[in-house]
A = this chain, B = another copy of it.
Amino acid sequence: MDRADLERLDRDCPLSPCRERFVLPDGVLYFDGNSLGALPRTAPSSIGELVEAEWGGGLIRSWLDAGWFHLARRAGDAIAPLIGASAGEVAVSDSTSVNIFKLAAALLRGGGRRKVLTESGNFPTDMYILEGLVDLLGGGRALVRAPPDEILDAIDEATALVVLSHVDYRTGAVLDMEGIAARCKALGVPAIWDLCHSAGAIPVELNRCGVDYAVGCTYKFLNGGPGAPAFAYVSRDAIGAFEPAVTGWFGHAEQFRFEDRYRPADSIAKCLVGSPPILSLRAVLDGVACFEGVDMAALAAKSRRLSDLFIALADERLARHGLELASPREAARRGSQVSFRHAHAYAIARALIANDLIPDFRDPDILRFGITPLYMRHVDVWDAVETIDAVMAGRAWEDFRTAEREAVT
């Protein structure tokens, strides 16, 4: 197999035209769409129109006339089919961290169970939020961190809440959502799934798996733009009994009655709190619209093809440089990324960026390559491996060994 074979694969790939939905800088190999998705081609004009016509011209009237009031739910409805949810089950507002807090606080209120369970390698903000919340609520609650292969056994009748990331941000390992959700249901344990690294990347079937609560990011695979607000999902089954704990006016049954007492909306709107950031929220619609007409199974298949290709080429050309695969080899157990371990991962990431290949570094030793099949080509994987091989062979990364450690994300 050589580069020409991959060019042929790109030519024949039915998803290749999706790349035209994005604006990508020339000469850059972008493997960090799982930190910040690329710019949708429609975003500059739709944000420009929002700023100039809706804000500037419509002013306050645009909350109604331009539908700002409904954006949080409209964006949620656009995301729903990508995660196996139904219209009315998803709303977009606040950050992922705040959404975890909102759901977890509501689910931990009252009740006699005291164990809050998460995965030991979970994304830090998930753990931090739970740590703070458990401390705030007190009453003997404790946060327990179990390694991924012990999660299932750790869910028991003392468990008040489970919070798990569907895909591990470092390695890309996927948890068995269906199996864990079934055990939670059987024991009456609510579970919140963090879909930051799975929404828009791999098939997610919340409804089919019987998942009641989830949150996720819109600025990674969903291309919603930097810091775009996150989504919260509460299933149709669970929404009726769900009692919000962070109770703001956007979640009120009749927001503009300005009543003295809080009465939650009888829909997913009860998960909203304050005014959503309209500029950032509007871009989420552009980001999600890039999936229009895309079959998620075909997208996932392309993700696996690209990742498998990356791993095969890495075996051939990168292993000798000491890059050790950190992601599962088995495609079914892997999200849409390929990660490697190397003691000098940080310096290598810096060197690659200096050579126009953008990966992510994740402390302490992870070099992470995001696979975004909507806009990534087979040849990009080939070219990336070429660049890594050259940087490692030429030891170009050594120039960055003593570089001050900054966030690479």
Which positions in A face B, CB cutoff 8 Å? Answer: 23-25, 28, 30, 32, 35-36, 38-39, 43-44, 47-48, 51-52, 54-57, 59-64, 68-69, 94-98, 101, 105, 109, 120, 124-125, 127-129, 131-133, 135-137, 145, 219, 225-230, 244-250, 252, 255-262, 273-281, 283, 353, 358, 360, 362-363, 406-409
Q: 13 A-B residue contacts at CB 8 Å?
A: A38-B56, A47-B48, A54-B226, A64-B406, A97-B246, A97-B273, A124-B260, A128-B249, A128-B262, A132-B245, A133-B246, A258-B362, A277-B281
Q: Which residues of B contact A363 (CB under 8 A)?
A: 256-258
Contact A124/B273 with A59-B28, A60-B409, A94-B98 known, Cβ cut-off 8 Å: no
Known: A56-B25, A98-B274, A256-B407. A247 touches B124 (CB 8 A): no
Contact A51:B277 (CB < 8 A) given known A56-B23, A59-B32: no
CB distance from A100 to the nearest CB of B (A): 9
A273 to B273, CA, bound (A): 15
- Having A59-B358, A69-B407, A124-B260, one finds 10 other A-B pairs with CB under 8 Å, namely A25-B59, A43-B55, A55-B225, A60-B358, A68-B226, A124-B258, A225-B278, A226-B275, A227-B277, A256-B408
Q: With contacts A132-B262, A277-B279, A407-B256 known, is A248 near B97, CB below 8 A?
A: yes
Min C-beta distance of A74 to chain B, whole Å: 14
Q: Does B260 lie within 8 Å of A96, measured CB to CB?
A: no
* Interchain CB contact under 8 A, A101 and B279: no
Q: Chain B residue with minimal CB distance to A281?
A: B227
Query: Chain B residue with minimal CB distance to A24?
Result: B56
A290 to chain B minimum Cβ distance, whole angstroms, is 14
**Which of the residues B244, B249, B277, B409 comes within 8 Å of A63, measured between beta carbons?**
B409
The answer to whether B63 and A407 touch across the interface, beta carbons within 8 angstroms, is yes
Give chain B residues whose Cβ lies under 8 Å from the Cβ of A63. Answer: 36, 226, 407, 409
Copies in the complex: 2
A258→B360 CA distance, assembly (Å): 14
Partner pick for A248 among B52, B95, B248, B259, CB 8 A cutoff: B95
In the complex, residue of chain B having the shortest beta-carbon distance to the beta carbon of A132: B247
Known A-B contacts A57-B25, A136-B137, A406-B64; A274 and B94 likewise in contact (beta carbons under 8 Å): yes
Shortest beta-carbon contacts, A-B, top 9: A95-B274, A132-B247, A97-B274, A277-B280, A97-B248, A39-B56, A226-B278, A125-B249, A277-B277
Is A277's CB under 8 angstroms from B228's CB? yes
Query: In angstroms, how far is the closest chain B Cβ from the Cβ of A47?
Result: 5
C-alpha spacing A62/B38, complex, angstroms: 12
Which of chain B's residues have a CB closer than 8 A to the CB of A280? 277-281
For A226, the closest partner residue in chain B by CB is B278
Contacts of A57 in B (CB 8 A): 25
Q: Among B44, B94, B131, which residue has its beta carbon within 8 angstroms of that of A94?
A: B94
Are A226 and B47 in contact, CB atoms less than 8 angstroms apart?
A: no
> Is A131 a contact of B279 with CB atoms below 8 Å?
no
Q: How far is the CA of A247 from the CA of B131 in the complex (A)?
A: 8
Chain B residues positioned under 8 Å from A36 (CB to CB)? 55, 59-60, 63
